[in-house]
A and B are shown apart, each in its own frame.
Chain A
Amino acid sequence: MGGEENTMEFQHGNENIMTSEMDISSVSNMAKSSSEVPNHHHFLGSSAWDNPLISLSQAHTFGGSSMVSHNDFANANSTYNPLVLENQGMSSTSHLVQYSNLGGMIHKIPSYGSGSFSEMVGSFGQHGSGGDHVANTSGYPIPPQHYNHIKDAGNQRGHFNGEQSQVEDSVHEDGGTGSAPGSGNRRKRGIDQNSTFSPNKNAEGDGMKDSPRKISDGSKEAEKKPKVEQSGKQTKDNSPSGDASKDNFIHVRARRGQATNSHSLAERVRREKISERMRLLQELVPGCNKITGKAVMLDEIINYVQSLQQQVEFLSMKLATVNPELNFDVERLLSKDILQSRIGLGIGGFVPGMSSSHPFPSASFQGNMSGLPSSSTQFPPLPQNALDHDFQNFYGMGYDSNTALDNLGPNGRLKPEL
């Protein structure tokens, strides 16, 4: 398919977006085709997007399949959908379907404990190998009033586009941790990719904030609620300050009646990001749904984490006492005649290197146990057929057979060493 066709599809697709809700499969068509579109035709860099705010509202219609489409971005379940601003970190935190880059692939929705996702079929996220993220993102969606220089970020996006054209068949990994890319651990990885952001992030963040603790005296944050953006409307804005002239920085507009000191602006941006993250935490921690207020919720979270840790410690002590009665059928657990599983073994790159029939070579247990199991603990090969079948209950579609774990395939099957 020629590039022109793709372009035309795009243009056509633009109109579709503007008028109606598209369902995910058709968007995925566009997404797939977009990966071959040259940069300047790309959705995001396209000059067809006159008003980035429109694009954001359209992005919301995407997410409308199970969400009420809002005009009020603040009411979004968690975060904004930066259709225009790609935030790869978003893919791990957003509750809505993300269209941060339609060139990306349909992606499993990574989310922790957020039950609302179980019915969402997939989400778009950006995918490149770790590290090739758009530099202006801090792994975080930027509220609509921060939109000023989307086109400036287009150069970064161009860089990104080059990366996303790699289409990977396997379940795609976002994180740049360097671990096995084929792992299905995307949800967790998605979180971790923020670590790859930090070099970029700090570069920008340093320009913006000096001492994060200082709050200027002149700040009158009368309204702290996020701004409601109607398409075409800009934030109420007294002063143009805060719009740094440099391109790679996050551009923040001062809200009405608020200080425009760079300290407080940076501070405010930071706090907003933290609030966004905390919404996800809210779902994890039981009983936090009704709490509104950062401090109270953080309090709850701290208590919860402490109690969890205490419980784990208590349980481990209990386990120590119960230990004599435990009787795992270890042989069956780590049965060696079971075919390797295609999934999950690659978590963290744990290739079953050891193949002894006993879990730990007895040589490692001499006297005291301080030389406890070395890091080469193997993970057992698991019955493939049963695993497939069971996994298929979880997975909506069948397996793609080109997971990175296939290199653990039949050739790598462990033979017991006796």
Chain B
Amino acid sequence: MEGQQNKRKRVYSVEPNKVMQAKFSRNYINYLAPALMKIKERRSSIEAKNVENVVKYEVDMAMVFSSQGFAWSNALKLKLQKDGGEGSSRINYQQNDMGPLDFSKKNCSKFEASKILEEKKLVEENEIVDDQLRCLRKLIPGGEEIMCDEQMVSELESYVSCLQMQRSILSSLSYSPSKFVVCATLSSYWIVAGTLYK
């Protein structure tokens, strides 16, 4: 059995999250860094307003390339390709107008009231949850096309973590670009990745 085991050795990580994060960040930076350099070189030929859009486009594209395989990633790519370099690829922000979650009371006999109240609570809560899920759908790129809520929630997981990583990368790029200049070797990628993420 041992011999067979060796042949079928699986590779698994004791720190899967770190690996994922590192891969994401490496891919992301690998896409974004050259793009940014190019933007920098061509800066004179682009109008000021457009630079931001261009950068935004690149940022989003980097996101797409770093996170292949998700529905939202493909949706984002399609959206970017459709819109091209102009137009914001940002998702519109909506106010999340869920009021405070309090439930109204009713005047009934106590026993029935409690039952009816619970029922109403649950119904209301379910409706609130449905509204929230709809909100989330609009937030995620391509959320409208996802058929079922459960799948959408699972897409949400990946989206949130990729957003977190993207934000970390961008913030370190913007606020301490020297770090990236120095860290050009691969091992430095890990250092950067390690400092970026918990």
Contact = CB atoms under 8 A, between A and B. Distances in A.
Contacts of A201: 148
A298 B129 contact: yes
Contacts of A175: 69
B32 to A, nearest CB: 9
Contacts of B13: 108, 394-396
A27 interface: no
B91 interface: yes
Interface magnitude class on chain A:
35 or more
B108 interface: no
Contact of A315 (B12, B27, B50, B167): B167
Interface in B87-123: 90-91, 93, 96, 98, 101, 115, 118-119, 122-123
Contact of B56 (A33, A316, A400): A316
A169 B30 CA distance: 29
A220 B114 CA distance: 11
A386 B187 contact: yes
A244 interface: no
A98 B193 CA distance: 29
A111 B17 contact: yes
A187 to B, nearest CB: 5
Interface string A397-417: 111100100000000000000
B163 A309 contact: yes
B90 A169 contact: no
Interface in A90-114: 92-93, 105-114
Nearest to A283: B157
B93 to A, nearest CB: 6
Contact of B68 (A111, A348, A390): A348
Contacts of B17: 111-115, 117-118, 187
B135 interface: yes
B33 to A, nearest CB: 4
Interface in A327-358: 327-330, 332-334, 338, 343-344, 347-350
Contacts of A89: 154
Given A172-B10, A323-B55, A195 B37 contact: no
Interface magnitude class on chain B:
35 or more
A369 B1 contact: no
B12 A107 contact: yes
A188 B67 contact: yes
Q: Is the interface of B mostly helix, strand, loop or mixed?
A: helix
A238 interface: no
Report which residue of A194, A198, A349 has the largest number of chain B beta carbons within 10 angstroms of its beta carbon: A194
A317 B91 CA distance: 15
A149 interface: no
Contacts of A138: 150
B139 A306 contact: yes
Nearest to B86: A370
A322 interface: yes
A121 interface: yes
A322 B174 contact: yes
A393 to B, nearest CB: 8
Contact of A295 (B84, B132, B158, B175): B132
B11 A308 contact: no
Given A281-B157, A326-B37, A369-B46, A270 B122 contact: no
Interface stretch (A62-70, A152-160, A371-379): A371-379
Given A188-B69, A195-B151, 17 more contacts: A32-B4, A105-B10, A110-B16, A201-B148, A271-B129, A294-B125, A315-B170, A328-B184, A329-B181, A343-B23, A359-B35, A365-B38, A365-B42, A368-B85, A370-B85, A391-B19, A395-B12
Interface of B: 1, 4-5, 7-20, 22-23, 26-27, 29-31, 33-40, 42-43, 45-46, 50-52, 54-59, 61, 65-71, 84-86, 90-91, 93, 96, 98, 101, 115, 118-119, 122-123, 125-126, 128-130, 132-133, 135-136, 139-140, 147-151, 153-161, 163-164, 166-167, 170-171, 173-175, 177, 180-181, 184-187, 190
Which 8 pairs of residues, A with B, have the shortest CB-CB distance? A348-B68, A359-B34, A315-B170, A332-B184, A298-B132, A277-B153, A108-B12, A320-B55
12 contacts: A118-B16, A122-B12, A169-B7, A177-B69, A194-B150, A221-B119, A309-B93, A315-B171, A333-B184, A343-B23, A377-B31, A395-B12
